[in-house]
Amino acid sequence: MAVGCGDVRVPETSPAVAPVLTEHRPSQALAATKSVGEDCTQAGASECTSGVCLHVRPQRESGYVCSQRCVSSAECPPQWRCSQIYPGPNNQMCVPPAS
């Protein structure tokens, strides 16, 4: 305990340590074997036959699925939609439903 002014005692506290946020860094797959819709959390795009792994959930360490480029939703799995995921030409990907 630290002693303050007069008879008031102030407990010693250590500074709060905030957790360090880091990006998800997948390992490298030996071969691309996963299709659109399959989980690619472990090895990212390297395990998707399309070469595309999207992060579609808020958790950092989960919610990664193989996807593919598209022009219309007809090219995507049922219930998925073809969406532009960032500005520029040819940046549309198949995106799974929210639930």
Q: Alpha-carbon dihedral of residues 30, 32, 37, 42, nearest 10 degrees? A: 20
pLDDT at 3 over 90: no
In a domain, 33, yes or no: no
pLDDT tens for each residue of 65-74: 999 999 999 9
In a domain, 60, yes or no: yes
Q: What is the pLDDT of residue 35?
A: 96
Q: What is the pLDDT of residue 96?
A: 95
Domain containing 53: what range? 38-95
In a domain, 53, yes or no: yes
In a domain, 11, yes or no: no
Q: How confident is the model at residue 90 (pLDDT cuts 50, 70, 90)?
A: confident
In a domain, 90, yes or no: yes
H/E run at residue 95? strand 92-95
Total domains, the chain: 1
pLDDT tens for each residue of 7-66: 555 556 656 666 665 666 777 878 899 999 999 999 999 999 999 999 998 888 889 999
In a domain, 21, yes or no: no
